[in-house]
Amino acid sequence: MRLATHRPPGLVVTDHMFTVPVDHDAPGGATIELFARELVTPTRERDELPWMVFFQGGPGFGAPRPTGRGGSWMERALADWRVLLLDQRGTARSSPINGRTLAAIDSAEAQAEYLGHFRADSIMRDAELIRKQLVGPDEQWDLVGQSYGGFCITTYLSIAPEGVRQAFVTGGLPPISRTPDEVYRATYPRVLDKNRRYFERYPGDRERLVKIVEQLATTKVRLPGGDRLTPERLQVVGIEFGMAEGFERVHYLVEEAFFEDADRPVFSERFLHGVEAVTSFHGEPLFAALHEPIYCQGTASNWAAQRVRDEFPQFDPTSAEFVFTGEMIYPWMFEQQFCLQPLQAAAELVAARSDWPPLYDATRLGECQAKVAAVVYHDDMYVDAAGSLETAAAVKGLRAWVTNEYEHDGAYMDGKRVFDRLVKMASGEL
């Protein structure tokens, strides 16, 4: 269903809504709504352009909200494509997943079963239904995916490769045969290395963090939303370390943590608001609920990040040298964060589920006919480069660009160059 068309400077934006089944294996059952924005430049509005659908990182994040196109991957894409920004199921303007919507489901078991329909396999089957409506059942379209969006693309090439002409992956080739435990055993050493580099750049922050942790251990400090700020929650700020400006964002928080109030240090409002903004899942509870299951195929995660963390004592929040964690979800988050507490019982069942269906088909990937180009960020904290290169070798014809020029957000920091290079690689120009 086409909803409305808007004309901000340099763009023609058309809103769409699609109805899809919750369970694609039961198409006659319950349905949900999917929202998407179609973008095209004013000068090419009436041209017969190929379609490109964008898959956002996550899981659990809506598509970018376009405010312009200068200098971004989108500027390059809109030169030759009609772009569709999809709010993946459960996110943003699509039928949302949150504490209130899950509360309408009458048991934790039913909630957990419902959450199981929000992984990449369902997202890709949604996309196939949309392709057939927008492009035509016999026409292909092109894909671009950032981070988890690359996981989705790899699933797409496993489930419905006939719908894909070209695919471009920016920092998101998944480890298709690794278990969650293996993923985190590869991830924690990279996070430690990011900590090392951070404290080399800002050595004075060690002393500041000692004072911060001492204060948290002796005082019940509340964040603006009411959650208690604990040392382990402070560690989660390290999720920023995988981005180009992450070290600086964390440093500026740490250096402004206190203002002096008579005889004792008091946390600044700027610090508390900043920590909450980085560590809260208020807007993206689906990220917390399904972050580990994106790695599950026929196995349970059983809170892999928490279990594997115990193999790395450096991350003990009571350690003499404070160390930040990275992009990990821990069971205590569903106890400490008010926004996640309604999901806690279902999240425990999701973590224990062992019958997850496969997300990838090695045979189909090895027979891939689509042109695929991917950038692999050598120092990526979130997606292990070694696992990405294993996958690159498994996808027929995939061309990989390995670089340490960028962090995980290279497609946003220098998107026009990154995307243009992938386009040229897929075409054989490079």
Predicted local distance difference test score (pLDDT) of residue 2 = 83
Predicted local distance difference test score (pLDDT) of residue 266 = 84
Better-predicted residue by pLDDT, 376 or 320: 376
- Asked, as a colleague might, if the bond just before 59 is cis with ω within 30 of 0, I would say yes
What type of residue sits at position 53?
A: V
Length, in residues, of the chain: 430
Catalytic residue among 72, 94, 122, 147: 147
Residues 94-113 have pLDDT tens digits of 999 988 899 899 999 999 99
Predicted local distance difference test score (pLDDT) of residue 263 = 55
The full set of domain ranges for the chain reads 2-176+359-427, 180-352
* pLDDT confidence band for 259 (50 / 70 / 90): confident
Predicted local distance difference test score (pLDDT) of residue 13 = 96
Alpha helices in 257-384 (DSSP H): 269-279, 285-290, 304-309, 333-336, 344-352, 362-366
The backbone torsions φ and ψ at residue 230, rounded to the nearest 5 degrees and listed phi first, read -110, 165
Res. 27: pLDDT tops 80: yes
The backbone torsions φ and ψ at residue 143, rounded to the nearest 5 degrees and listed phi first, read -125, 145
Catalytic residue among 126, 205, 408, 409: 408
355 in catalytic set? yes
* pLDDT confidence band for 424 (50 / 70 / 90): very high
Write the CA distances from 79 to 52, 144, 225, 394, 415, integer angstroms. 12, 15, 43, 31, 14
Mean pLDDT computed over 56-66: 94
Alpha helices in 135-204 (DSSP H): 148-159, 180-201
Mean pLDDT computed over 390-412: 97
Q: Which residues pair with 12 in a beta bridge?
A: 40
Predicted local distance difference test score (pLDDT) of residue 69 = 66
Helix (H, G, I), strand (E, B) or coil at 79: coil
Predicted local distance difference test score (pLDDT) of residue 63 = 96
Mean pLDDT computed over 193-203: 98
399 within 8 A of 423, measured Cβ to Cβ = no
Res. 260: pLDDT tops 80: no
Res. 262: pLDDT tops 80: no
Residues 42-56 have pLDDT tens digits of 999 999 999 999 999
Quote the CA–CA distance of 126 and 22 in Å, as a whole number.
9
Q: 10 Å Cβ neighbour count for 343?
A: 27
Q: Of 167, 185, 160, 241, nearest to 391 (Cα)?
A: 167
* pLDDT confidence band for 67 (50 / 70 / 90): confident
What is 2-176+359-427's CATH number?
3.40.50.1820
Quote the CA–CA distance of 425 and 80 in Å, as a whole number.
16
CA dihedral 80, 84, 88, 89 (to 10 degrees): -150
* pLDDT confidence band for 363 (50 / 70 / 90): very high
Res. 320: pLDDT tops 90: no
34 within 8 A of 94, measured Cβ to Cβ = yes
95 in catalytic set? no
310 in catalytic set? no
Res. 68: pLDDT tops 90: no
Look over the chain and give the mean of its residue pLDDT values, rounded to a whole number. Answer: 95
Predicted local distance difference test score (pLDDT) of residue 103 = 87
